[in-house]
Amino acid sequence: MKFSVSHADESDFAHDGLRSFFEYRDLAIKEATAGRFNAHVIRARPGERSPGEWHRHDLDFQMVYVLRGWVRFEYEGVGEVLLRRGSCVHQPAGIRHREVEHSDDLEMLEITSPAEFGTEVVEALTS
């Protein structure tokens, strides 16, 4: 591992993340930890909406902390969960979930391990 520092800059947000309706700001943790972890700030693209696809990730650890705004997720076996500023969620490895809706001002910090992981779109849950 090596030392890393990242300062905020609006130009650092990119549209090349997992979801097209979000922008991502890399915090340089992936490089500092040789790919063992990743951390980025995710923010909503105003006016863009989630298609609400059910999916799961192939990873060991995922947590999300809401910095601003709100987001509603739905989790298999849990139901809908509203996260707002200051909310934190640990999403267990492999849990089926989807992003239902979010505010235009949403900003979240996401930390994952490993940094690179697979995502699989899965069938919608049935009652």
* Domain assignments of the chain as residue spans, ordered by start: 53-122
Q: What is the mean pLDDT of residues 22-31?
A: 88
- In tens, the pLDDT along 76-108 reads 999 999 999 999 999 999 999 999 999 999 999
Task: Enumerate the β-bridge partners of residue 65.
Answer: 88, 109
- pLDDT at 24 > cutoff 90: no
pLDDT given at position 111: 97
Q: What torsion do the CA atoms of 103, 104, 109, 111 make, to the nearest 10 degrees?
A: 80
The architecture in CATH of the region 53-122 reads Sandwich (2.60)
Q: What is the mean pLDDT of residues 57-67?
A: 96
Q: Could you give the C-alpha distances from 93 to 68, 113, 114, in angstroms and in order? A: 25, 10, 11
Q: What is the mean pLDDT of residues 9-35?
A: 77
Least Cα distance to 109 among 88, 80, 83 occurs for 88
| CB count in 10 Å sphere of residue 69 | 17
pLDDT given at position 3: 75
> pTM for the full model?
0.84
On whether the CB atoms of residues 57 and 110 are closer than 8 A, the answer is: no
